Structure 1
């Protein structure tokens, strides 16, 4: 596949994949924080991704897919480590000491890095006022959504150095995620997407193992002491977050532009807030409602840019 074209796909499948990425990943921040209360971070990362990788490998075998193409494994491993070990692993680490809402804010800078790093789409993205405006408005909306939590966090001077270092790490995570996504889009598209996804997940799980050994995480860790909530969270992260969510994400990268797919980073915090309102009896303020409206408007702007390009291309083709 060339760098400038996307594969065709059923509109219904695209909508379903976006729904999974938007809604399921919006809930994973909460479940990561729940899981990391019972599991050390590197053990959690290894368990989550190795188990998900084994499930995916089993599905590949059932489907008769060719799992062991060396070139495909190499490309998948590189993108998987960038995406899931650095991108998601840093989130796991930071959520030991940082609220999930704040994590979602910082990670929402990912669409900015998609635009800056996606060189084949520079001419398209930087010429589109809708994309640039949507991207900046979306980031502003996320900050507004969590503005009250931000002010509370930085009102405690003793925690500021830790929070600042965590935010720097999360910024690196967003860059790694964007880089890994673009590598996956342009370099890992040969062969079956399900096989690519399997090796991306498996490579990330294996990459967590040295961290377990270096930090000696098994010392003092007892499986029987892990609370049931953490086990439930782990199962959710394996099945929904990794197998369903990440598979949908990798597939979307092949059929839609990286900029459009990256809108998940704006929608995920919205989902996280709404889940808190409906299932944890959290209150939503007028400022948060304004943030939600702004974020959804930004996603509409970004997607409308693509819609207008497609309509123009159809008119030219049919003229």
Structure 2
């Protein structure tokens, strides 16, 4: 690590490759989540995913003798409830009551915006013309990307509006939690933060699921067999173990805004998988949208220029 830190170009390349891997993995979780939630209720799936991930993170910490204690226990609990419990609860409810395409546009376009705004309130992020331009470009690209997947938002009126409002609350909860988490990853190893956040978030989500969802023996059997198990396995090993640990590391290295730019890359991966794997349609404007989103990410994923002293 010291050798890498001594070479800024190498360190920046490592961060970029880690970011790219995270964005690809999280792009692939869309189809994995569909397989898992086709088998069992969504909040239950989210809770099981996080609890199982916490077991892997816990084993990792024990084998590597990573310190789990923290002097910021209250911050850790609040961050866990915001990033996982609040986000997943509102997000799944919102997606269930609104067109998936519109929900995706609202969620993904707001992640960089809210990360920047909440981060600025906490003194963790800066608002610059380049970042504002990137957010605007990315939002336009998202709209074009999902242009044929939005459905008819007016068909259910108020219910759709409430669903999208829930998605906004979920995104705010996520962005707020990411900012609250940043001091934690300065004090603790990212894997230790991941252990506590997945454990606390998973247990709280299961409690919500038991209160609000009907989880029968048939759903459990379906989740732990066939495509349900494949989907859950990738969510745990890829989405949580790889993706979330890399995200926490980038949160410390890059900040919430840059780390959150996966929101402009992962949908490109998800749509590409849908076209190749599921035979979904793909048109000119979607291709333009993908190009715009990648351009928006390239605009700010590079480090800010620092004048020579």
Question: If the length of structure 2 is used for normalisation, what is the TM-score?
Answer: 0.87
In 2: Cα distance, 1:94 partner to 1:230 partner? 22
Alignment-derived partner of residue 189 in structure 2: 192
CA distance 1:222–1:112, shift in 2 (3 Å): closer
Residues 69-120 of structure 1, C-alpha deviations (whole Å, 9 max, x = no match): 1534443332122111222343344444555544321211111111211126
SS at match of 1:171: helix
CA distance 1:201–1:253, shift in 2 (3 Å): same
Alignment-derived partner of residue 175 in structure 2: 178
Q: What are the within-5 Å matches in structure 2 for residues 177-256 of structure 1?
A: 177-215=174-212, 217-219=214-216, 221-226=218-223, 228-256=226-254
Alignment-derived partner of residue 83 in structure 2: 83
CA distance 1:115–1:170, shift in 2 (3 Å): same
**Structure 2 stretches lacking a partner, 5+ long:** 1-7
In 1: Cα distance, 2:123 partner to 2:67 partner? 35
Q: What are the within-5 Å matches in structure 2 for residues 1-319 of structure 1?
A: 10-67=11-68, 69-96=69-96, 100-108=100-108, 109-119=110-120, 125-126=126-127, 128-150=128-150, 152-154=151-153, 157=155, 159-215=156-212, 217-219=214-216, 221-226=218-223, 228-304=226-302, 306-307=303-304, 309-310=305-306, 312=307, 316-317=308-309
The question of whether the paired residues in 2 share the 8 Å contact of 1:36 and 1:230 is answered with yes
Structure 1 stretch 25-34 or stretch 105-114: which is displaced more?
25-34
The question of whether the paired residues in 2 share the 8 Å contact of 1:37 and 1:96 is answered with no
CA distance 1:78–1:274, shift in 2 (3 Å): same
Residues 42-70 of structure 1, C-alpha deviations (whole Å, 9 max, x = no match): 32122100100011001100011122x15
Number of matched pairs:
299
**Structure 1 stretches lacking a partner, 5+ long:** 1-7
CA distance 1:28–1:162, shift in 2 (3 Å): farther
CA distance 1:79–1:58, shift in 2 (3 Å): same
Question: If the length of structure 1 is used for normalisation, what is the TM-score?
Answer: 0.85
Superposition deviation, residue 258 in structure 1? 2.0
In 1: Cα distance, 2:139 partner to 2:147 partner? 12
In 1: Cα distance, 2:212 partner to 2:148 partner? 35
Structure 1 stretch 276-285 or stretch 105-114: which is displaced more?
276-285
CA distance 1:121–1:216, shift in 2 (3 Å): closer
CA distance 1:75–1:120, shift in 2 (3 Å): same
Superposition deviation, residue 24 in structure 1? 1.0
Residues 112-132 of structure 1, C-alpha deviations (whole Å, 9 max, x = no match): 111211126879733x22111
RMSD over aligned Cα atoms: 2.4
Superposition deviation, residue 240 in structure 1? 0.4
